[in-house]
């Protein structure tokens, strides 16, 4: 692995400081189209190997020092107990995405299946959408000068394949599918479990849902940095 990529992976924990989580509202059939793609991440199964991060970089030609998905590693201290905690993160493909209306040229938009994408032909690289995303899920690609982010690997999904991060997840922590399909695994997981989303107070209606979050992590908000000691296990 080249040195710049090592530095990138070392930097991952710092990127994710200050994430608030809370139960997601009941999710019925969503999206404007026949399908509504979504992901469920079971953090109990994530071993922090970064296989997803690396496969995403390879699949999507993500430039150095940028990411479309990351796994942050934290050491959480609770009295005398100390534990390591993994949090995979990516674009939430929000139902109400604040990154979309701020785009002055209509380059970023939501497809009927819920996937939020960027039209590189129209994007002028102003970074308004980068500023508008509450999840730091976007960046300006320094190779192209355009906005960049996770697309749920739409180019793969459109031909019946899974997103690269899902296919390569060693622990089987990432489940992807159609929320509007009553037989899909994501639909079954949401119906059978209490899932959580990142920053629900932003009313963005994220469509990346989390299972198995440690109780010590829930409800933590920005500024409680003393609770979160980023470790450097990602290199």
Phi/psi at 132 (5° precision): -80, -20
87: contact with ligand SF4 by CB under 6 A: no
Q: Which is nearer to ligand SF4, 105 or 161 (CB)?
A: 105
Torsions phi, psi for 228 (to 5 deg): -120, 105
174 pairs with which residues across the strands?
41
| Nearer Cβ to ligand SF4 (36/149) | 149
DSSP state of 70: E
Tell me how far, at minimum, the Cβ of 180 lies from ligand SF4, in Å.
18
Q: Does 137 bind ligand SF4 (CB under 6 A)?
A: yes
Site string (187-216) toward ligand SF4, x via CB under 6 A? -----------------x------------
Q: Which position among 86, 115, 123, 173 is part of the footprint of ligand SF4 (CB under 6 A)?
A: 123
Give just the sign of the alpha carbon dihedral 205, 210, 212, 217: negative
Q: Which is nearer to ligand SF4, 42 or 95 (CB)?
A: 95
Structure tokens at 218: 């829930």
d(CA 102, CA 93): 16
- Measured from the Cβ of residue 167, the count of other Cβ atoms closer than 10 Å reads 16
Binding site for ligand SF4 (CB under 6 A): 91-94, 97-99, 102-103, 105, 107-108, 116, 118, 123-129, 133, 135, 137-138, 147, 149, 204
């Amino acid at each position: 692995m080249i040195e710049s990529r090592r530095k990138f992976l070392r930097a991952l924990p710092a990127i994710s400081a200050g994430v608030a989580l809370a139960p997601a509202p009941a999710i019925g059939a969503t999206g404007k189209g026949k399908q509504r793609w979504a992901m469920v991440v079971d953090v109990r199964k994530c071993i922090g190997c970064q296989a997803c991060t690396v496969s995403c970089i390879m699949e999507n030609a993500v430039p150095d020092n940028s990411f479309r998905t990351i796994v942050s590693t934290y050491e959480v201290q609770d009295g005398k107990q100390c534990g390591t905690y993994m949090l995979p993160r990516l674009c939430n493909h929000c139902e109400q995405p604040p990154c979309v209306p701020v785009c002055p040229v209509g380059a970023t938009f939501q497809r009927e299946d819920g996937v939020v994408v960027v039209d590189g032909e129209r994007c002028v690289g102003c970074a308004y959408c980068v500023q508008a995303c509450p999840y730091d899920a976007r960046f300006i690609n320094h190779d192209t000068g355009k906005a960049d982010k996770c697309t749920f690997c739409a180019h793969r999904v459109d031909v019946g394949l899974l997103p690269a991060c899902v296919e390569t997840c060693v622990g089987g922590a990432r489940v992807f599918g159609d929320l509007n399909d009553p037989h899909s695994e994501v639909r079954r997981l949401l119906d059978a479990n209490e899932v959580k989303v990142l920053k629900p107070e932003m009313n963005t209606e994220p469509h990346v849902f989390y299972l198995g979050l440690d109780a010590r992590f829930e409800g933590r908000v920005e500024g409680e940095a003393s609770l979160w000691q980023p470790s450097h296990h990602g290199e």
